[in-house]
């Protein structure tokens, strides 16, 4: 009788682990989640650098124009690291002196949007954020 109880307990444990991997997605999904979360953090970093309240500042033509400067009279700490994702780089478009679009491809946007609160203005369907220089 004890042998059957142990086998039953073992089967229950295997079923619980299988359900947990199905629910969470396993190690592969965890890596996708981590990469997407890092890309979202990078996108938010660049958005934070681009949104400037100094009246005389206009948006740069491209992101490399501000990488080595004190754009908006502030430190660009974290900017270089945020824009150098070799696998899925950001695409910056200057729409006007005060409006921009910043797009980032994500591996699993549906899952990312279920895990984290996305920045207001980020379109989950395209991965693009449209914003203004001065909020």
Q: Pick from 100, 95, 98, 97: which is nearest to 43 by CA?
A: 100
pTM over 0.85: no
Using alpha carbons only, give the angle 123, 126, 127 rounded to the nearest 5 degrees: 70
Give me the pLDDT at residue 67, please: 61
Number of H helices, E strands in the chain: 4, 4
| Each residue's pLDDT expressed in tens, for the chain with a length of 135 residues | 687 777 777 767 766 665 655 555 678 888 889 899 988 988 888 888 788 777 778 888 888 777 655 667 666 666 666 666 666 688 999 999 889 999 999 989 888 888 888 888 899 999 999 998 876
Neighbour-count burial for 51-64, b at 16+ CB within 10 Å, e otherwise: ebeeeebebbeebe
How far apart CA 91 and CA 105 sit, in angstroms, is 9
Helix (H, G, I), strand (E, B), or coil: what is residue 78? coil
């Amino acid at each position: 009788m004890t042998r059957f109880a142990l086998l039953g307990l073992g089967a229950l444990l295997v079923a619980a682990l299988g359900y947990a991997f199905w629910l969470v997605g396993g190690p592969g999904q965890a890596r996708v989640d981590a990469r997407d979360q890092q890309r979202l953090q990078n996108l938010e970093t660049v958005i934070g650098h681009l949104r400037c309240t100094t009246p005389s500042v206009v948006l740069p033509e491209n992101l490399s124009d501000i990488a080595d400067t004190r754009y908006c009279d502030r430190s660009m700490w974290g900017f270089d690291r945020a824009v150098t994702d070799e696998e899925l780089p950001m695409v910056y478009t200057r729409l006007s002196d005060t409006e921009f679009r910043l797009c980032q491809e994500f591996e699993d946007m549906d899952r990312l949007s279920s895990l984290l609160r996305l920045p207001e203005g980020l379109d989950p369907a395209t991965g693009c954020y449209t914003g203004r220089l001065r909020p």
